[in-house]
Structure 1
């Protein structure tokens, strides 16, 4: 559904509570909810949604070993999850 700037972080074997984190940008609040709906329909048979924290600017989806963040570009820039997750990934790979 045309999420933008999708990044996947492999944190398996590291100090983070999820093995993988996916970050994607939406085009805006309505698109954020549309992307969530698309994931629910597309992943429902294969993945169990353990928890979903919804706001128009940021949706976090806990699939157990995978954590998905869908953010508006403004929130993505403001919270800069990529830097945080890159540091965790670098520590994991330095071991």
Structure 2
């Protein structure tokens, strides 16, 4: 798992994704084990990052169960056990998913 996460994080970083954050939620009952959040430079950059993820990860056997790409301000890629959220800066600030995930993790540990 660490190799997959590292590959995805490095891939996003190499394509100028900003403020990468990784949340390990595997000890909770959250809908996925890991969440990656990053900021794009603009909505077109969000789509370019998603395209890069598809291009690089599908040949490695990754399955994209779902993508939400209706709005470039918040693009989501669901790999099953990894969920990737690509936000523009304003939307990342507006929805503050990091705070939600940190609170969720703190309040929902399943030991």
TM-score (norm 2): 0.80
Which runs of structure 1 show a deviation greater than 2 angstroms over 4 or more consecutive aligned residues? Answer: 91-95
Q: Deviations over 1:5-55 (max 9, x none)?
A: 000000002020100000000000110111001101111122100000011
Instruction: Provide the aligned length of Structure 1 versus Structure 2.
Output: 95
What is the 5 A alignment of 1:37-52? 37-45=51-59, 46-52=61-67
Gap runs ≥5 in structure 1: none
| Higher relative contact order (Cα pairs below 8 Å, separated by 6+ residues) | 1
More helix by share: 2
Match of 1:4 in 2: 18
Gap runs ≥5 in structure 2: 1-14
TM-score (norm 1): 0.93
